[in-house]
Amino acid sequence: MFAKSLILSALAAIAIAAPTPAGAPHPKRSTDTYGNMATWYDAETGNAGACGNYLSNNDRFVAVSMNSPIPCGQWLGFNVNGKTSYGYVADKCPSCADNHYDMSMTLFNDFAGYGQGIVNDLWSWQVDEWVDPATLF
């Protein structure tokens, strides 16, 4: 029994000490949700997004529903079929339900081609610590 505890403790110490890639979001997260959907949109309209910034389709960001409590600037993680990517809230989506994320073209392309249009069974979570977007990619 003691040997088993010792081995488990050693494995836990290795997992904790494992290096995180430079610039990766902190692994802490909250408010995991499942069964979400994602679409993409062309954000280069010449108008600022609802959060006040002009957006580029080359950035990784997301629009959330108008009544979402997720604030502008909040980083979100997304996973579909084992692929994970990150984007920050930069806009609001008037036609989106609470479980619908409207992604930038670049973020959506991390999961599917534009022709697919919709990604279902999206897993999402809020990253608990802010990360400078310039350090991610």
**Tokens representing 54?**
């002009």
Distance CA 133, CA 130 (A): 9
Structure confidence at residue 137 (pLDDT): 52
Structure confidence at residue 3 (pLDDT): 41
Q: Which among 130, 132, 110 is positioned nearest to 122, based on CA atoms?
A: 110
Structure confidence at residue 49 (pLDDT): 93
Predicted model pTM: 0.72
| pLDDT tens-place values along the chain, 137 residues long | 444 443 334 333 333 333 333 344 444 456 677 788 999 999 999 999 999 999 999 999 999 999 999 999 999 999 998 899 999 999 999 999 999 999 999 999 999 998 899 999 888 888 876 555 555 55
Structure confidence at residue 126 (pLDDT): 85
Write down the H helix ranges in the chain: 2-17, 105-109
The domain ranges of the chain are 29-130
Fold of 29-130: Barwin-like endoglucanases (2.40.40)
